[in-house]
């Protein structure tokens, strides 16, 4: 597979796959581009590239659904795969395992290049000229508090002592041409970095990166690898080669040299602006606002004819589900395996909008844990799970035998309906409740605490009431299945 170097090569590859739609008519950045992108998500259409944006200088473009599910038949995860340098027929299970393996690999740090070799330095705006007013900053939902420069842009920030440089995504709203605000909360990595600067009373140097290698935003949007692991080295290990970076104009932070647009400045340590509301990953428009720090813009650098990626997140499936859910799944699976528990897979079903988590276990788990019943096994899983970010965030978790494929929504719905008791075999604890989880009451969201449940959906042991599947694979002899498949009466691809 040809290595993708930047967003432009990625767009070319999508075009060759038939998964890119170039929209040549003039489109407004005020809701219209986002509306077209939402339609593409919901109808499984190619990713839209907007060639002409109302009010923007010729050449300025917007790009929607950069890592949504693909329109390519039989390759729904092709955009994610192409972004991460993986085979186009990637399955979510392979993605989760790849993330875990990369977390255990030696990081490949980025390499610095000269300003002359960095496309992101083709245009440099400083001082008063460094304003968002010249860019087509998108407004992505009708009820949003303003345009949102940060929906797929990666924030780069470093702890005051320099030990950790974090690349992550958190939503950012435009206040005016020189100022932005955004969600900066302690569970997020940007919130952890910000708190260390707030503790010493100094503003945080930051860079907001739009575009570049498509892996940058994918990894930046994953709550994985673990805290205090530099994403730049993780991306290098994932791709098998280092990213090229260049030093900022206003700080010693290093940013991807192939970025389309880099916005630089300082983030205040006070909470001086009102951010929101914003339509979020749960699929509902929230009315919530909150006091957040202010990003003051001091420099903007960009490529000729820059491309601004946008993610109008909402009802599944979009990047908030294709990216964050594999990351959370990998983090939880890694911890459960590290604890020595026999677990086959962990998956956050994309259509559950970050509200469900499914754990599958091998059907011989009783042999591997002699003397342990399903209630105790589920309790042990829950104990480890709730120590992870994924476990702390998921209102509902389900433990199932691995005769069920958690990535197959048809199988999963059948198993949850037929194996999970309405009220029994469930453990209830208390954990984190957030406004992003619409199932909680207003009082629970304000308190930040709510019930977390885990359901024991494990089948009885063989010979103790376990029922066979009345399916093609489960209700007919193996030799008959083989004969039917070989006959191939429908001419199906084998």
**pLDDT tens across 369-404, in order?**
999 999 999 999 999 998 888 888 889 999 999 999
Residue 366, both tokens: 């009783």
Domain borders along the chain are 93-313, 323-456
At the top level of CATH, which class does the domain 93-313 belong to?
A: mainly beta
Question: Cα separation of 373 and 188, whole Å?
Answer: 37
Q: What pLDDT does 2 receive?
A: 60
For 155-175, what is the mean pLDDT? Answer: 97
Q: What is the mean pLDDT of the chain?
A: 95
Q: What pLDDT does 281 receive?
A: 84
At the top level of CATH, which class does the domain 323-456 belong to?
A: alpha beta
- Identify the active-site residue in 249, 280, 313, 335: 280
β 261-267/345-347 pair status: unpaired
Q: Which is higher by pLDDT, 171 or 445?
A: 171
Angle at 461 between CA 343 and CA 419, to 5 degrees: 70
280 is catalytic: yes
Q: How far apart are the first and last CA of the chain?
A: 25
What are the contacts of 409-417 at 24+ separation with CB within 8 A?
409/349, 409/351, 412/349, 412/358, 415/457, 416/457
Q: What pLDDT does 89 receive?
A: 96
Residue by residue, DSSP assigns 300-324 as EEE-SS-EEEE----SSSSHHHHTH
């Amino acid at each position: 597979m040809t290595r993708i170097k930047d967003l432009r090569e990625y767009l070319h590859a999508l075009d060759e796959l038939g998964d890119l739609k170039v929209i040549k008519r003039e489109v407004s950045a005020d809701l219209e581009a986002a509306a077209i992108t939402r339609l593409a998500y919901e109808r499984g259409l190619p990713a839209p590239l907007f060639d002409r944006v109302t009010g923007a200088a010729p050449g300025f473009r917007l790009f929607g659904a950069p890592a949504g599910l693909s329109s390519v038949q039989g390759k729904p995860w092709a955009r994610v795969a192409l972004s991460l340098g993986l085979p186009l027929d990637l399955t979510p299970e392979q993605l989760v395992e790849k993330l875990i393996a990369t977390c255990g690999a030696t990081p490949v740090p980025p390499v610095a290049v000269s300003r002359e070799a960095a496309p992101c330095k083709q245009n440099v705006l400083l001082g008063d000229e460094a304003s968002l007013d010249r860019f087509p900053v998108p407004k992505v939902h009708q009820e949003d508090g303003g345009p949102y420069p940060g929906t797929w842009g990666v924030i780069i920030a470093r702890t005051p002592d320099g030990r950790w440089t974090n690349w992550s995504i958190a939503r950012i709203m435009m206040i005016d041409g020189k100022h932005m605000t955004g969600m900066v909360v302690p569970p997020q990595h940007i919130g952890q970095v910000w708190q260390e600067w707030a503790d010493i009373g100094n503003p945080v140097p930051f860079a907001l990166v739009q575009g570049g290698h498509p892996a940058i935003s994918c990894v930046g949007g994953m709550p994985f690898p673990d805290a205090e692991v530099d994403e730049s080295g993780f991306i290098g290990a994932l791709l098998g080669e280092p990213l090229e970076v260049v030093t900022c104009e206003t700080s010693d932070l290093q940013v991807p040299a192939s970025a389309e647009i880099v916005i630089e400045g300082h983030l205040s340590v006070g909470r001086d602006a009102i951010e929101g509301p914003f339509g979020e990953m749960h699929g509902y428009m929230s009315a919530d606002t909150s006091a957040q720090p202010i990003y003051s813009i001091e420099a903007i650098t960009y490529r000729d004819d820059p491309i601004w990626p946008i993610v109008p997140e909402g009802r599944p499936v979009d990047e908030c589900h294709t990216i964050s859910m594999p990351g959370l799944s990998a983090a939880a699976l890694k911890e459960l395996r590290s604890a020595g528990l026999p677990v086959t897979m962990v998956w956050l079903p994309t259509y559950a909008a970050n509200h469900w988590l499914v754990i599958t276990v091998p059907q011989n788990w009783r042999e591997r844990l002699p003397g342990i019943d399903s209630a105790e096994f589920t309790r042990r899983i829950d104990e480890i799970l709730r120590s992870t970010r994924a476990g702390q965030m998921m209102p509902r978790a389900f433990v199932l035998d691995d005769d069920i494929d958690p990535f197959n929504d048809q199988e999963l719905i059948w198993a949850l309906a037929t194996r999970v008791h309405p009220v029994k075999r469930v453990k209830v604890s208390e954990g984190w409740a957030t406004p992003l989880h619409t199932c909680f009451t207003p009082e629970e969201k304000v308190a930040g605490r709510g019930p977390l449940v885990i359901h024991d959906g494990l089948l009885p042991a063989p010979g103790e009431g376990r029922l066979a599947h009345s399916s093609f694979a489960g209700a007919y002899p193996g030799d008959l299945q083989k004969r039917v498949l070989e006959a191939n009466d429908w001419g199906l691809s084998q």
